[in-house]
Homo-oligomer: A and B are copies of this chain.
Amino acid sequence: MPSASQRIPPLVRPLISERAKRTLDLVEKFVNEDCIPADDIAEAQIGEGKQRWTTVPAVMEDLKLKAKSLGLWNMFLAKGHYKEGAGFTNLEYSFMCEQFGRSRTASEATNNSAPDTGNMELIAKYGSAEQKKQWLEPLLEGKIRSCYVMTEPNVASSDAKNVQLSIVKDSDHYVLNGEKWWISGAGYPTCKVYIVLGKTNPNHPDPYKQQSMIIVPAGSPGITVKRMMHVLGYDDAPHGHAHLIFKNVRIPASNLILGEGRGFEIMQGRMGPGRIHHAMRSIGAAERALDYLLARANASHKMAFGKKLSEHGVIIERIAQSRIDIDAARLIVLNAAAAIDAGDAKTALIEIAEAKVFVPKVALQVVDWAMQAFGGEGLSQDTPLAAMWGHLRTVRIVDGPDEVHLQQLGKRENRRAREVQLMIQKQLDETDRLFEKYRVARGVDREVPRANL
């Protein structure tokens, strides 16, 4: 089997450094040989009941030690953007991120795990020296974990302007009151810090200046975990998705990031790379699902109607379509990574949105086909497929549902309509001129649809 670096698409091969290729192959080996076998151990170690939210799986600490010893740490912090990282471009990191997506433990084992990655980027970019010292350093070392606290239960959070948690200045503190849910990672016992979006200036005339971002130590008095949200029957322990209540939570004013009213700005600065990380991990998941589909389709002891599944044309077509769609999806994400490398997340908005919409649909389809090939077993706890499906289904929603991205992308594309209309009009005028020049009749049955454009 060619290694991960040998499987880099021909189009992209010239753009990946030798060092990145070597690291990529090391990542692949580490994921396949260490992380994937540890996935079930980590799950078993957290056990059942309330214990699931108080246990750090021992195997995870061992994986982290090994990852560090291999030099596989913090690769997500992109070269040229952050000095703290491993010096890879977003494009190069994308391939590593794909490998992480094959396993449930690999991202965390190498300290490339959401939401910490986005939070570390955020603090590195916008945090004060003091904030960096207190929170960024232990995060970079993998000693603590963090949450990103934005979504609220009582508003449509796909539109961040709707956020309502109140942040009120009270001398040298801020007081937080409100409710948040889907706070991923808050279940983790080592989660020590929340980055919270709320409103300091609810009456500011500019709706994009009402929000602020503040660093809140986990366990601050007044924070209650109301419950953990499920995803299709999964609690996703030990990370989990918490429903939190903030009641008169007092936080030192120095914890505010950048200043009052700059929450929206920070939020937008945080967005880009994280979305392509999700996307590349989804591709890794899709590749692993395709592996499982291949394995099951060629199982000689589970013949259907005298044939292996892979001898049925319908199954072969699905395998082929999976190959095609995964490869297309990967290129779409790599293009977004290259766009970020060439500029930043803002200049890469279109490419990121394309990846955001395209990838989970493909990955869900591949996993669905793999589940179907396994029959009931594919929906059960006996393969990684069902949990993958649950996770990938959330990707169509987190960071904004598909529908919102499609509307934004469509409106952006639609902006060039006027120019297009003018170009077509000019072409039709030129056609008129040519008809006269060549003295040829237009034909009774053809009409230039000028007025219709």
Q: Which residues of B contact A375 (CB under 8 A)?
A: 156-158, 397, 401
Q: Which residues of B contact A396 (CB under 8 A)?
A: 372
Q: Is A172 an interface residue (CB 8 A)?
A: no
Q: Is A49 an interface residue (CB 8 A)?
A: yes
Q: Determine whether the beta carbon of B440 is less than 8 Å from that of A303.
A: no
Given A41-B431, A376-B182, A438-B59, A233 contacting B386 (CB threshold 8 A): yes
Q: Which of A67-75, A137-145, A256-264, A403-411 contacts B (4 or more CB under 8 A)?
A: A403-411
Residue of B nearest to A294 (CB): B417
Q: Which residues of B contact A205 (CB under 8 A)?
A: none
Separation of A24 and B444 alpha carbons in the complex (Å):
37
Residue of B nearest to A441 (CB): B44
The A interface, classified by DSSP as helix, strand, loop or mixed, is helix
Query: Which of B376, B419, B452 lies in contact with A394, CB distance below 8 A?
Result: B376
List the 7 shortest-distance A-B pairs measured between CB atoms, nearest first.
A233-B233, A320-B410, A316-B410, A313-B313, A37-B430, A331-B331, A10-B339
Q: Is A442 an interface residue (CB 8 A)?
A: yes
Separation of A301 and B419 alpha carbons in the complex (Å):
17
Q: Determine whether the beta carbon of B302 is less than 8 Å from that of A156.
A: yes
Given A331-B332, A331-B335, A372-B401, A302 contacting B380 (CB threshold 8 A): no
Separation of A386 and B229 alpha carbons in the complex (Å):
12
In this complex, how many residues of chain A approach chain B with their Cβ under 8 Å: the count is 156
Q: From residue A357, how far is it (CB to closest CB) to chain B in Å?
A: 6
Q: Which residues of B contact A379 (CB under 8 A)?
A: 230-232, 390, 393-394, 397
Q: From residue A168, how far is it (CB to closest CB) to chain B in Å?
A: 23
Q: Which residues of B contact A9 (CB under 8 A)?
A: 335, 338, 351
Q: Is A86 an interface residue (CB 8 A)?
A: no
Q: Is A38 an interface residue (CB 8 A)?
A: yes
Q: From residue A174, how far is it (CB to closest CB) to chain B in Å?
A: 26
Q: From residue A307, how far is it (CB to closest CB) to chain B in Å?
A: 10
Q: From residue A308, how far is it (CB to closest CB) to chain B in Å?
A: 9
Separation of A402 and B312 alpha carbons in the complex (Å):
14
Give 1 or 0 for each of A416-453: 1 = CB within 8 Å of chain B CB.
11111101101110110111001011111111110111
